[in-house]
Amino acid sequence: MLSRMLLDSLGRRLSRKALSVLAVWIGLTLVLALLSLSVDVGDKMNLELRSFGANITVEPLASAIPVQVGGHRLAPQTVPSYFDEAELPKLKAITFFWRNNILGVAPRLRASGLVKGQVVPLVGVWFDVPITTGSEPLVTGARQVYSHWSVQGAWPTRADQCLVGSAVARKLALSPGDTLTLVAGRGEVALSVAGVVTSGDGDDGAVIAPLSTVQGLVGAPGKVSSADVSALTTPENKLAEKYRQDPRSLTPDEYDRWYCTPYPGAVAKQVQDLIPGSAARVVRRVSETQGMVFSRTKGLMALLAAVTLVVCGLSVTGILAAAVLERRPEMALLQAIGARRADVLVLFLAEMAILGVAGGVLAAFTGPLLGRWLVSVVFGSTADVHLAVVLIAPFLGLGLAWAGGFWPVWKAVNQDAAQVLHGG
C-alpha cells in the first residue's frame, strides 16, 4: 500500500519534484567538486611549493654535530668531511618507506678556486642525473630541486660547462658564452659559462659546476659535502611537534603513527637511516611555510564546501517547504480517513529520500568531473576520480533532502486535519 501511494505521489507535480532534484544536484555538484579538489590539494600544493627549495638537508655527521663549551658554540671544524655520492640512490631504493615522496636530490661539494686571480666559492652539483633503482628512474639535480633559481642563458648540459652566480658575474665581468679558467685543488680546467644564475642566497657569489668536475679538481672522487632533498610531506601537527620536542615522550603507538606518516621529521629520519654517517635535518623555513600555505588552503576548501552545503540546504528547504504547503490538504485527508501521523510522515520522507538520492546520484557523475576540471585549471595537471567522493554522494543527497524537508513535513502532519479541510 505504501509503495503504491509513493509511486502515485511521485508521478504527480513532476515540475516541483524536478526542481527539488535539480537543487540537490547543483548544490552537491559544487560540494563534491570542492571535496575532490581538497583531496588533491595536498600533493598538488606541495608540488607547486617546490619553488621554495629543498625541505631536507643531509650533511656528514661530523659536520652536523654542534660543539658547545661553556654555553658558547665553537666554530665548525676546518677539515672538510664528506659522505659517499653512491649512497644517494638509496633514497629511491625499494626498501625506503617514503621513496615515492622523494621528488628530487641535489648533492653539493663545496670548495674554493681562483678565477681571474680572484678567490671564489666553488660548488659542484648534479644538474640532470638519473637515479635508477629497478623502478622508474628519477632524473634529478639542481634543475629540479632549485626551481626558484633564475638562469640567464641556459643550464649546463656538458661536463665543461658551468653556471656563475650573479654577484660573481658582475665582479668578474662574465656573461653566458664566455670561457673561464678555474684553478682549484690539484689542477685547473677551462669551463664555458652556460648561464648566470640568481638564487637569492649564497650561490649568487659562487661558480657552480658539474659535481664530477669539482670532485676531480679537489681530489675527492665520489664524495659530497651535503645534499638537498625535496620531499613530498604532510604538515606537522601536535604529534610531530611532540616528537620534535622530546622523541622519548611518544608512546609506542604514537611513535608508529608518527613514523608511518610522511611528516618532514619522519622522512628526514629515514633518509638519515639510509645514508651511513649522515645527519638529516628539516629546513624549518621551507617546511613551515609549506605547512602554513597548505593548512590555510585546506581550511579555505573546507569553508567553501560548508558554505555551499548550507546554501544548497536552504534552497532545498525552501523548495520542499513550498511543496509541503501545497499538499497540506492531502496530508489532512490522509489523516481524516485513518492514516496515522507516523504513516504520513514516512510517506513524505520516503518521497524526499528518493528525490535526494536521485540528485546525489547525478552529482556523483558531475561533481568529480568538475573537480578534475578545477585541478587542471588551478594546478595545470590531471587528477584521478576518487571513489570515496563518488560513493558518498547519494548519502549526502539523502541527508540534504531530509534535513531540508523534515521540519516542514513535521509541522504539516501535526496540524489540525479538520481545520485544514474546512479551509482554516
Query: What are the pLDDT digits (tens) for 125-141?
Result: 999 888 766 556 678 88
Q: Residue 51 pLDDT more than 60?
A: no
Local confidence band at 231 (pLDDT 50, 70, 90 cut-offs): confident
Phi-psi region of 8 (alpha: psi -120 to 50; beta: other; left: phi over 0): alpha
CB atoms within 10 A of CB 25: 22
Local confidence band at 412 (pLDDT 50, 70, 90 cut-offs): low
CA–CA separation, 361 and 365 (whole Å): 7
CA–CA separation, 320 and 408 (whole Å): 8
What's the mean pLDDT in 32-47? Answer: 70
Identify which has the larger pLDDT, 376 or 209: 209
What's the mean pLDDT in 52-61? Answer: 82
DSSP 8-state class, residue 74: P
Local confidence band at 48 (pLDDT 50, 70, 90 cut-offs): low
Q: Residue 168 pLDDT more than 50?
A: yes
What's the mean pLDDT in 380-402? Answer: 80
What's the mean pLDDT in 238-250? Answer: 86
Q: What is the pLDDT of residue 124?
A: 93
- Alpha-carbon distance values, 36 to 113, 227, 299, 384 (Å): 53, 35, 14, 9
CA–CA separation, 184 and 29 (whole Å): 64
167, three cell numbers:
654577484
**Long-range contacts: 236-241, Cβ < 8 Å, 24+?**
236/263, 236/264, 236/265, 236/287, 236/291, 239/263, 240/264, 240/265, 240/266
Domains of the chain by residue range: 2-47+291-421, 54-282
109, three cell numbers:
661539494
Q: Residue 6 pLDDT more than 70?
A: no
Q: What is the pLDDT of residue 121?
A: 92
Local confidence band at 313 (pLDDT 50, 70, 90 cut-offs): confident
CA–CA separation, 353 and 341 (whole Å): 18
What digits encode the pLDDT tens for the residues 317-363? 777 777 666 666 666 666 666 667 666 667 777 777 888 888 889 98
369, three cell numbers:
568531473
70, three cell numbers:
661553556
What's the mean pLDDT in 304-317? Answer: 78
What digits encode the pLDDT tens for the residues 249-308? 888 898 888 888 888 888 888 888 888 888 888 887 666 666 666 677 777 777 887 887
The C-alpha cell 510522515 sits at 345
Q: What is the pLDDT of residue 75?
A: 45
The phi, psi pair for 277, rounded to 5°, reads: 70, 25
Nearest to 49 by CA among 57, 41, 38, 39: 41
Identify which has the larger pLDDT, 217 or 90: 217
DSSP string across 112-123: EEEETTEEEEEE
Identify which has the larger pLDDT, 416 or 154: 154
Residue 384's SS3 state is: coil
Q: Residue 28 pLDDT more than 90?
A: no
What's the mean pLDDT in 199-203? Answer: 84
Residue 76's SS3 state is: coil
Q: For residues 338-377, b (16+ Cβ closer than 10 Å) or e, as one string?
A: ebebebbbebbbbbbbbbbbbbbbbbbebbbebbbebbee
Torsion sign across C-alpha atoms 127, 149, 287, 50:
negative
Local confidence band at 151 (pLDDT 50, 70, 90 cut-offs): very high
CB atoms within 10 A of CB 171: 15
